[in-house]
Structure 1
Amino acid sequence: MDTVYSYSIGLMSGTSLDGLDLVYVKFNNQMYLDFQILNATTIPYSEKWKAILQNAIQYSVEDLVDLDIRYGRFLADSILDFIKTNSISRVDFIASHGHTVLHQPEKGITLQVGSGQVIATRTQQKVVCDFRTQDVKLGGQGAPLVPIGDELLFSNYTYCINLGGFSNVSFRQNGTRIAFDICPVNIVLNFYVSKLGMDFDDKGEMSSQGSVNEELLQKLNELDFYEKAYPKSLGLEWVQQIVFPLIDKMEVEVPIILRTFVEHIAIQISKVVQKNSRVLFTGGGVYNSFLMHRIEVLSSNSVLQVSDEMINYKEALIFSFLGLLRIKNEINCLKSVTGASHDHSSGVIFEV
């Protein structure tokens, strides 16, 4: 049996509810830079699942326990389909991010649903999940978790920026990897475009036709979060309690909201990245050509082209990697990134 390489399936479900990302990855156990995404797919959420996951924040404890099991079954069945479709014969473990329902690290709370035991039992595979809880118990933000992957797999870039529900960045400063959430992205853009019956603003077409509302832009840029020192992270609750009410109070049309918010994103990102740097942009937001154009203009950085596979599946790939590090009991959570009391190996392992 090949022990040099590990073969695993990584799962990622982001806050923008685009769908469930699955990757089948091969990692060299001795030299992590030697990795390969062998298969990858996204399973879009049905309207029913979208509504459930969107509203789970209001659920009672009993309902959340039930959802944890039901969503675990959904994940397990998605994995089994993925294995069958791609004729996958070897899986050493599954690493699942789960879906974040609550994230309030300042109160010591973080909750991802998708029972690891249900997945393990149903797929008959070892499962690593629940990567955030331990970090929060150690006084950390429980996020972001991807930077250890940036450090060990993508160190040839000065900045790694993901444009998903939120944008987050990771980079080295004075020899230490730091990372934080920059601002909301698709969680806001998709919400407003959905009012017009669309899932997303294709290539930023609609936002490019709107005009910037200077008053709204100023209010967005003055939000307290942007003044905070890192480590810092954002959650759905913050957007629902702070951002949506701020925008809705202005009573402006959707194209204007989109155009203004695109400008807001580009301004916040350009504050973080230095000019003429090597920046790896990944996540669904990369396909918003207008947004990328504004980021290029305001940050004076040209956007480096990477494969669609890397744009879409980098986070799922890194969760697979976090699982590998956890199984080997190696550090996968950096205190410099999350603010935890020490570096640690996070994640709960479920056996069949």
Structure 2
Amino acid sequence: MKTHKIIGLMSGTSLDGLDLAYCKIWQEDKGYNFEIAETHSVSYSDEMKQRLKNSIYLAADELLIFHNTYGTWLGEQVLDFINSYDLEVDCVASHGHTTHHQPQNGLTFQIGSGQHLANACHHKVVCDFRTNDVALHGQGAPLVPIGDRLFFGQYDFCLNLGGISNISFEKNGERLAYDIGLANMVLNYITRKHGLEFDKGGQLARGGKINPTMLEQLNDLGFYKLPYPKSIGYEWFVDQVVPIVEATDDSMPNLLRTAIDHICEQIALQVKANSPADHRSLLVTGGGALNDFLIETLQSKLGPTAQVTVPETILVEFKEALVFALMGALRLEQKTNVLCSVTGARSDSSSGVIYLPT
């Protein structure tokens, strides 16, 4: 495997913005290695944030128009990134932005047209990594575990705290992974209701008190009782979680404190259920890893079961973009980049659609 120079793009359900990571990826001694050489984040404007948030309600033709214009916008951000750092790029690997995720209905859709992206940035693009797995009767998610296995196999568990929390680990020679449940999506929803983008470091939550009724309702959500493989999307959050938050008449610190307790309790339950012994290692990345109070609460609930490790900030913030760069490299090499042991699909696959600029 040659050294691939790829820009990985990630836009998550927390609606923070677009992450771009220029990565060099190569294989050595049957293992894989990487360098994150340059990074950049583009915050979404209020208008873009609302358009992405409300895209699940668009009519089909309006959604497809947005799919194309958002793809062009992605390509423009990539081109600016390339020009700003004078980057030599082989390919762009884009996750897109998930608007619809209903694997039970054979449907998943990430907007950000690969052809429009390629035309705007003048480089080859690999995107649409989920559709093939869903067509193979998988969940189409999570996708990051291929990176957990190839880049971070020294950790017993890899936990990502984006809009949604998901975990991956090895068991009986297979990589297993699934969405646990809530993370930043609910925390940001609460703060944005009060005109605050997010609770920096969990400072507001630290001063709050647990609302027992809300906590019980969150812990009783049916998704937590389902066996894995399983995954959720924004539709689930709107349908199942938002009504609980809206029906709870309490202060913002108390709502945040309750949500964090819930998030950490569900994560700890899953780690303990899949840990044959104490003193395991748990790597935590994603925006939630920067929430000090959340991390402290998680470690407290885990006790001696697992030691939480938060790596350097660049990896915390850009791990998902890095993994999509890896998935792009593997797709170009026609190697497996989606694991059926994770998604429940009929087989592993080398997924992603390749677009050439015109």
- TM-score tier after normalising by the smaller chain length: over 0.9
Q: What SS does structure 2 have at the residue aligned with 1:281?
A: strand
Matched, 1:338 2:343: yes
Number of the residue aligned with 2:25: 27
Matched, 1:307 2:296: no
Deviation readout 1:203-244 (Å, 9 max, x if unpaired)? 101111111011221121111111110000011111111111
Task: List structure 1 runs of 4+ shifted beyond 4 angstroms.
Answer: 29-32
Number of the residue aligned with 1:295: 298
Number of the residue aligned with 1:165: 163
Which segment drifts farther, 242-251 or 18-27? 242-251
What amino acid is aligned across from residue 97 of structure 1 in structure 2? Answer: H
Q: What SS does structure 2 have at the residue aligned with 1:120?
A: helix
Q: What SS does structure 1 have at the residue aligned with 2:54?
A: helix
Q: What SS does structure 2 have at the residue aligned with 1:325?
A: helix
Following the alignment from structure 2 to structure 1, what is the Cα–Cα distance between the partners of residues 127 and 197?
Answer: 29
Number of the residue aligned with 2:95: 97
- Checking the alignment, whether the CA contact within 8 Å between 2:285 and 2:310 is kept in structure 1 is no
- Checking the alignment, whether the CA contact within 8 Å between 1:164 and 1:285 is kept in structure 2 is yes
What amino acid is aligned across from residue 38 of structure 1 in structure 2? Answer: A
Following the alignment from structure 2 to structure 1, what is the Cα–Cα distance between the partners of residues 210 and 250?
Answer: 11
Following the alignment from structure 2 to structure 1, what is the Cα–Cα distance between the partners of residues 97 and 354?
Answer: 17
What amino acid is aligned across from residue 326 of structure 1 in structure 2? Answer: R
Alignment of 1:1-352 (within 5 A): 4-30=2-28, 32-88=31-87, 90-273=88-271, 274=275, 275-300=278-303, 301-352=306-357
What amino acid is aligned across from residue 282 of structure 1 in structure 2? Answer: T
Q: What SS does structure 2 have at the residue aligned with 1:72?
A: helix
- Checking the alignment, whether the CA contact within 8 Å between 2:289 and 2:310 is kept in structure 1 is no
- Checking the alignment, whether the CA contact within 8 Å between 1:6 and 1:29 is kept in structure 2 is no
- CA shift for structure 1 position 29: 4.3
Q: What SS does structure 2 have at the residue aligned with 1:302?
A: strand
RMSD: 1.2
Following the alignment from structure 1 to structure 2, what is the Cα–Cα distance between the partners of residues 318 and 299?
Answer: 27
Following the alignment from structure 2 to structure 1, what is the Cα–Cα distance between the partners of residues 184 and 193?
Answer: 14
Following the alignment from structure 1 to structure 2, what is the Cα–Cα distance between the partners of residues 215 and 114?
Answer: 40
What amino acid is aligned across from residue 341 of structure 1 in structure 2? Answer: R
Which segment drifts farther, 30-39 or 43-52? 30-39
Instruction: Give the gaps of 5 or more residues in structure 2.
Output: none
- Checking the alignment, whether the CA contact within 8 Å between 2:159 and 2:166 is kept in structure 1 is yes
What amino acid is aligned across from residue 163 of structure 2 in structure 1? Answer: G
Which segment drifts farther, 71-80 or 268-277? 268-277
What amino acid is aligned across from residue 291 of structure 2 in structure 1? Answer: N
Following the alignment from structure 2 to structure 1, what is the Cα–Cα distance between the partners of residues 308 and 137?
Answer: 36
Following the alignment from structure 1 to structure 2, what is the Cα–Cα distance between the partners of residues 309 and 258?
Answer: 26
Deviation readout 1:296-339 (Å, 9 max, x if unpaired)? 00012332241111000000000000011111111111111001
Normalised TM-score (structure 2):
0.95
Which segment drifts farther, 285-294 or 268-277? 268-277
Q: 1:32 to 1:46 in 2, by over 3 A?
A: farther
- Checking the alignment, whether the CA contact within 8 Å between 2:139 and 2:231 is kept in structure 1 is yes
What amino acid is aligned across from residue 212 of structure 1 in structure 2? Answer: I
What amino acid is aligned across from residue 146 of structure 2 in structure 1? Answer: I
What amino acid is aligned across from residue 171 of structure 1 in structure 2? Answer: F
Following the alignment from structure 1 to structure 2, what is the Cα–Cα distance between the partners of residues 137 and 34?
Answer: 30
Instruction: Give the gaps of 5 or more residues in structure 1.
Output: none
What amino acid is aligned across from residue 239 of structure 2 in structure 1? Answer: Q
What amino acid is aligned across from residue 172 of structure 2 in structure 1? Answer: N
- Checking the alignment, whether the CA contact within 8 Å between 2:22 and 2:38 is kept in structure 1 is yes
Which segment drifts farther, 29-38 or 235-244? 29-38
Normalised TM-score (structure 1):
0.97
- CA shift for structure 1 position 32: 4.8
